[in-house]
Amino acid sequence: MFASKRLGKELAKIHDKLPPGISVAKAEDLQEWQMDIKVLDDNPLYRDETYRLTFHFSSKYPIEPPEVTFNRTGGFKVPIHPHIYSNGFICLDLLGKQGWSPVQNVESVCMSIQSMLTGNTKNERPPDDEEFSSRNTKRPRDVNFYYHDNDV
Amino acid sequence: MNSAPPRTSGPQPRLCAQSSADASDDLSRDPTIVHRTPADPEAVYINKPVEGNQEAQRGRESPAENAEEVPARIPSEEDEPRKCWICFSDETEDTPLTSEWRTPCPCALTAHESCLLDWIADLEAPNPNRRTAVPAKILCPQCKSEIKVARPRSIIVESVNAVERILGKAVVPGAFTVIAGSIWAGCLVHGIATVHLIFGREGATRILTYGLVPQADPLTELFAQHSAIVPRWNLPLSLGLPLIPVALIFSRTSVADSVLPLVPITFFIAQNNDWDRWDLTRWPPSPAMVIATLPYLRVAYNELYERVFGARERRWIKEIQPRSGETEQDINGGDIHQAPENDAQRQDEQNLLMEINVEVEVVDDDEGVNNDLPPGQQEAAQGPAAAGDQAAEPHGRHNNFVISTSQLVDTILGALVFPGVSAAMGYILQLTLPRSWTTPPFSGPFGRTRLTGLLQARWGRSIVGGCIFVVLKDALTLYCRWKLAQGHRKRQVVDYDRKKKKTESR
């Protein structure tokens, strides 16, 4: 009830207006949305690519953070980034329990991820990507990410 | 609000079509969409009690409310309705059930009290990742100023929280204290057992109860005499006794060569009573004197061993190495180590011992036994207490410093068992030597007896026995080396005799 009220508000807002490079792909219910993001500058890592994010909302949203992952299916690629695992998991502090606060919303999360990509110059995966992506069976919210650094 | 999902489905298809069109025309967003879209969501989501078409709503709303809603879209107006930063609904949607508005911090964020309390409850919820039950402060996510919550105070709850916080901080130091205490207690017990073995029961009781006031309460006295547990806090004893096993272990290595001679001295200087008086002219010397000279004896013995047998032993060991496995470099390396400069040796051995910590967990037993150092030298370095039989396993030579766990355990166990071995040797001495050598000439009260020989006291026999054991063991090891080396060239592989259907030695 809490979540649906707030998500209804957000849905209205994002259908109304979104920053450039971010668009709604699918928002048919109040549990899962899909958002498309593009990196607008000429970053060669992400040029001309559209990435699709899946948002999962729990019933305690926005008290609890949404689960946000990059889609691997449907012809979408997971952008290469030192904080993004090849299974689509994103290591971003504002998506964790410690970094999240209810002032964040779908739009601001999309913008954070977009700027995270924009600012990146490293063509690499996280150092433990191979092991994590192949072994991990947990959901994103149950993973304790160790935030390697703050410079990206 | 439970009707929210059906309502979203109403305008949905159209909006989806729009947004996918957005995506396809590459972000050059048609400005008309901005004008077109607000109408529907506004109608559907903001005015929740009203169903029906948008014209009807507009008609029913008061002009003032309508005017307020438009600036809500353009957030710069002064008198916009307050909007909860948690549930995103604004003042216009308040019902009688909605809780009050709060502005807890200097910045523009305002929220429903119930939303804030939900959020705070989530922050304060016990979390396995968090150590203390209650976070220190709740900060506004925007301006980072503290959000104060007034709540009924309970002295008990607060003091429990405070205690929990203190305990949480004390966990690591506490664990270290417990571990250190256990090690200390183990060493203390071993030290007491050592004193018992070397000095015998009466001598041990004398040493261990030293410092007791004679009029100590009978219980303590009894306790001390019969179990020989240090009866009260006595600094030299409670520090000195646990140092016994430590010193024993170190004396099997060469790390503490420079410090080791000091340990017994400080212990026994602190023990300075009548019995242990320093008197260099007295024969037999006092136990303190003898024990304090042991480290020097050890150094001298090592040196002598190295001078006399070191080179030969290494030659014998080299003799039985597989020739093919030996390269020029290995031999050179060995030669460098054979240089008798003590400093260089010590340096090497220290490197080796540093390495123990690193390697112990990784190395398997068969992965090479500390063979960079020529084993003879290694043995020599380990002193009279050592004469390690591990040196008798010269399989293959490796250039990296590696020590195996089994060897480490062997060193430590050997060191800890050594007092027992010494005592056993002392007992054998007592049984084998003529009675006149091992009995004090006059049997007065213990300790006042004037001894005329080292072997007349149990401690003396134990120490001499220990020394004899070391020498015998070294001799045996050396003999085996020599014999092996001698026999090495004469080895033959035995042919299988087909007639007798067994191998036949010629």
Return the residue of A nearest to B90 by Cα: A9
Residues of chain A above pLDDT 90, percent: 7
Q: Which of A28, A97, A102 faces B119 most closely, judged by CB atoms?
A: A102
pLDDT in the model for residue B199: 79
DSSP letter, residue A45: T
Contacts B25 to A, Cβ<8 Å: none
Verify whether the Cβ–Cβ distance A9 to B87 is below 8 Å: yes
Three-state SS letters, B454-506: HHHCHHHHHHHHHHHHHHHHHHHHHHHHHHHHHHHCCCCCCCEECCCCEECCC
Please indicate, yes or no, whether residues B309 and B426 belong to a single structural domain of this protein: yes
Q: What is the pTM of this model?
A: 0.44
Verify whether the Cβ–Cβ distance B4 to A103 is below 8 Å: no
Q: Is A101 on the interface with B (CB under 8 A)?
A: yes
Which residue among B225, B251, B277 closes a domain? B251
CA neighbor of B294 nearest in space, from B53, B467, B75, B63: B467
Residue range of the domain that includes B483: 253-319+406-439+453-488
Please indicate, yes or no, whether residues B98 and B169 belong to a single structural domain of this protein: no
- Whether A24 is in a domain gets the answer yes
Contacts B35 to A, Cβ<8 Å: none
Residue B200: what are its φ and ψ, rounded to 5°? Answer: 80, 170
Q: Is B22 on the interface with A (CB under 8 A)?
A: yes
pLDDT in the model for residue B451: 60
Q: Which of B16, B20, B89 faces A5 most closely, judged by CB atoms?
A: B89
Q: Is A17 on the interface with B (CB under 8 A)?
A: yes
- Whether B377 is in a domain gets the answer no
Q: Which two tokens stand for residue B342?
A: 């003590």
In the block, residue with structure tokens 């037999």: B284
Chain center to CA of B359: 14
- Whether A109 is in a domain gets the answer yes
Q: Which of B46, B73, B85 faces A103 most closely, judged by CB atoms?
A: B85
Verify whether the Cβ–Cβ distance B46 to A10 is below 8 Å: no
Verify whether the Cβ–Cβ distance A4 to B1 is below 8 Å: yes
Stretches in chain B below the pLDDT threshold 50: 1-77, 130-133, 212-216, 226-231, 274-278, 324-401, 444, 447-448, 506
pLDDT in the model for residue B182: 92
CA neighbor of B376 nearest in space, from B431, B296, B316, B297: B316
Please indicate, yes or no, whether residues B243 and B189 belong to a single structural domain of this protein: yes
Three-state SS letters, B409-458: HHHHHHHHHHHHHHHHHHHHHHHHCCHHHHCCCCCCCCCCCCCCCHHHCH
Q: What are the residues whose beta carbons fall under 8 Å from the beta carbon of B503, sequence distance 6 or more?
A: B494, B495, B496, B497
In the block, residue with structure tokens 């506490």: B174
Q: Is the ipTM of this complex over 0.90?
A: no
Separation between Cα atoms, residue A46 and residue B504, nearest integer Å:
79
Please indicate, yes or no, whether residues B269 and B413 belong to a single structural domain of this protein: yes
Number of domains chain A is built from: 1
Look up A110 and say whether it is catalytic: no
pLDDT in the model for residue B46: 39
Q: Does residue A117 surpass a pLDDT of 80?
A: yes
Contacts B40 to A, Cβ<8 Å: 15
- Whether A65 is in a domain gets the answer yes
Verify whether the Cβ–Cβ distance B18 to A16 is below 8 Å: no
CA B31 to chain A, closest CA, distance in angstroms equals 10
Neighbours of B258 (CB within 10 A): 10
Number of domains chain B is built from: 3
Q: Is A40 on the interface with B (CB under 8 A)?
A: yes
Please indicate, yes or no, whether residues B303 and B239 belong to a single structural domain of this protein: no
Burial B418-427 (b: 16+ CB within 10 A, else e): bbebbbebbe
Residue B170: what are its φ and ψ, rounded to 5°? Answer: -90, 0
DSSP-based three-state secondary structure for B355: helix
The one catalytic residue in A7, A14, A90, A91 is A91
CB A14, CB A24: distance < 8 Å: yes
Q: Which two tokens stand for residue B369?
A: 């036994």
Verify whether the Cβ–Cβ distance A63 to B9 is below 8 Å: no
Residue range of the domain that includes A66: 2-137
pLDDT in the model for residue B357: 41
CATH number at residue A50: 3.10.110.10
Q: Which residues pair with A26 in a beta bridge?
A: A34
CB A96, CB A139: distance < 8 Å: no
Contacts B94 to A, Cβ<8 Å: none
Q: Which two tokens stand for residue B336?
A: 């460098």
Please indicate, yes or no, whether residues B416 and B306 belong to a single structural domain of this protein: yes
In the block, residue with structure tokens 């901080």: B169
Q: A with B: how many residue pairs have Cβ under 8 Å apart?
A: 101
Contacts A23 to B, Cβ<8 Å: 19-20, 22-23, 27
Verify whether the Cβ–Cβ distance B87 to A6 is below 8 Å: yes
- Whether B17 is in a domain gets the answer no
Q: Is B27 on the interface with A (CB under 8 A)?
A: yes
Please indicate, yes or no, whether residues B90 and B161 belong to a single structural domain of this protein: no
Return the residue of A nearest to B6 by Cα: A29
CA A95 to chain B, closest CA, distance in angstroms equals 14
Q: Which two tokens stand for residue A17?
A: 């207006």
Return the residue of A nearest to B14 by Cα: A15
pLDDT in the model for residue B318: 81
Q: Is B37 on the interface with A (CB under 8 A)?
A: yes
pLDDT in the model for residue B391: 38
Q: Which two tokens stand for residue A21?
A: 């490079």
- Whether A97 is in a domain gets the answer yes
Judged by CB atoms within 8 Å, which residues 106-125 of B form the interface with A?
109, 115, 118-119, 122
Q: Is B85 on the interface with A (CB under 8 A)?
A: yes
B502-503 and A50-56 strand pairing? unpaired
- Whether B218 is in a domain gets the answer yes
pLDDT in the model for residue B213: 44
Please indicate, yes or no, whether residues B429 and B289 belong to a single structural domain of this protein: yes
Q: Which of A23, A63, A98 faces B22 most closely, judged by CB atoms?
A: A23
- Whether B399 is in a domain gets the answer no
pLDDT digit string, tens, across residues B344-388: 444 444 444 433 343 333 333 333 333 333 333 333 333 333 333
Separation between Cα atoms, residue B268 and residue B113, nearest integer Å:
74
| Residue A86 CB burial class (10 angstroms; 0-12, 13-18, ≥19) | middle
Residue of B20, B22, B35, B45 for testing the chain A interface, max A β-carbons within 10 Å: B45
Return the residue of A nearest to B139 by Cα: A101
| Residue B231 CB burial class (10 angstroms; 0-12, 13-18, ≥19) | buried
Separation between Cα atoms, residue B121 and residue A63, nearest integer Å:
10
pLDDT in the model for residue B74: 43
pLDDT in the model for residue B53: 43
CA B175 to chain A, closest CA, distance in angstroms equals 26
Verify whether the Cβ–Cβ distance B86 to A63 is below 8 Å: yes
Separation between Cα atoms, residue A94 and residue B68, nearest integer Å:
33
pLDDT in the model for residue B175: 93
Contacts B129 to A, Cβ<8 Å: 97-98, 144
DSSP-based three-state secondary structure for A38: strand
- Whether A148 is in a domain gets the answer no
Return the residue of B nearest to A103 by Cα: B85
Helix A106-118 crosses helix A2-16 at what angle (to 10 degrees)? 60
Separation between Cα atoms, residue A16 and residue B341, nearest integer Å:
85
Return the residue of B nearest to A102 by Cα: B86
Give the residue ranges of DSSP H helices in B92-142.
113-124
Which residue among B118, B151, B184 closes a domain? B151
Verify whether the Cβ–Cβ distance A1 to B41 is below 8 Å: no
Please indicate, yes or no, whether residues B230 and B105 belong to a single structural domain of this protein: no
Helix B235-250 crosses helix B262-270 at what angle (to 10 degrees)? 160
Q: Which two tokens stand for residue B155?
A: 């002295």
Residue of A23, A28, A106 for testing the chain B interface, max B β-carbons within 10 Å: A23
Q: Is B62 on the interface with A (CB under 8 A)?
A: no
Verify whether the Cβ–Cβ distance A12 to B45 is below 8 Å: yes
- Whether B327 is in a domain gets the answer no
Return the residue of B nearest to A97 by Cα: B123
- Whether A48 is in a domain gets the answer yes
Q: Which residues pair with A24 in a beta bridge?
A: A35
Separation between Cα atoms, residue B260 and residue B351, nearest integer Å:
19
Please indicate, yes or no, whether residues B165 and B228 belong to a single structural domain of this protein: yes
Neighbours of A115 (CB within 10 A): 11
CB A68, CB A54: distance < 8 Å: yes
